[in-house]
Amino acid sequence: MPVSRANGLDVYYEVAGSGPPLLMLHALPFDHHQWLFQVARWSQSFTTVAVDLRGWGKSAKPTTAFTLRDMGNDALGVLDDLGFRGAAVVMGCSIGSKIAATLACESRERVAATILIGGNLGQQDFTRRIADYRAQGEAGTLKAFHLGHLRHGVTSAWADTPLGRYLLAGFVERGATLDAESIARVFKALQGADLSDRLPSCDVPTLVVNGEYDSARAGGERTASLMPAAEHRLITGAGHCCFLEDPEAFDACVLEFLRRGDLLPIAETSSGD
């Protein structure tokens, strides 16, 4: 099982393809499988590195305090273990987008570009969410609560399709080992990070993407307006995790962004895909 211990705890990841690194950081309450369509597409050109954030999937579930920067260091540790010590394209959704932006602001040399989906990089309040997870854990009803939370990440229309039901059920099944207190610590780390003041000086080429019905859409538009090298794109008909609902439209936006930024590997640039 591929696990990095570079940052002092087990961080699970999966690798596909070859070429320069494309680091993938999932949203809550998902796991690295959230990127299945993007791994299929982008492993043709990049080495895709899909990480389970601490607290989720097969990664460690610490119950003591940590920061969003610690979670970013987990991801850099994975890249270091794989021998990627230069700059990577970092793709993140929701909390993953905030981790990606944290790395862009604080470890510029490690980030070639960021693709931020459904992200709010300002101040956030998860007091209620933290209390709910702790209460559900104590009551032994975390599984049903997890499914309800997953549905908030997509539109109801997609969640109720055969594909949506199948994929969400898989996240619930793999979430059988989730720990409510560890989840609370993840939300506390997310809540404690506000990048608003740092974004105007962050010059990393950035694509900000939101679904039309994403509750974080206003935050995404604000993020793009604050970053000097950012652009914003909208995926119509989709929710928070738009890349899961409409991977074709999302990947087309990413392809255009990578092409214009001269960030595509030579083989794909030459293929005219």
Q: Given the structure tokens 């989840």, which residue do they identify?
A: 183
Report the pLDDT averaged over residues 17-22: 96
The first and second tokens of residue 90, run together, are 């970092």
CATH class of 3-271: alpha beta
Instruction: Identify the CA nearest to 77 among candidates 2, 11, 24.
Output: 11
pLDDT in tens, 149-187: 999 999 999 999 999 999 999 999 999 999 999 999 999
- CA separation (Å) from 180 to 29, 56, 203? 12, 10, 37
Strand order in the sheet with 21-25: 3-4, 11-17, 47-51, 21-25, 88-93, 111-117, 206-211, 230-235
pLDDT tens sequence across 80-105: 999 999 999 999 999 999 999 999 99
Domain edges within the chain = 3-271
Which of 82-86, 127-131, 189-193, 264-268 has the weakest average pLDDT?
264-268
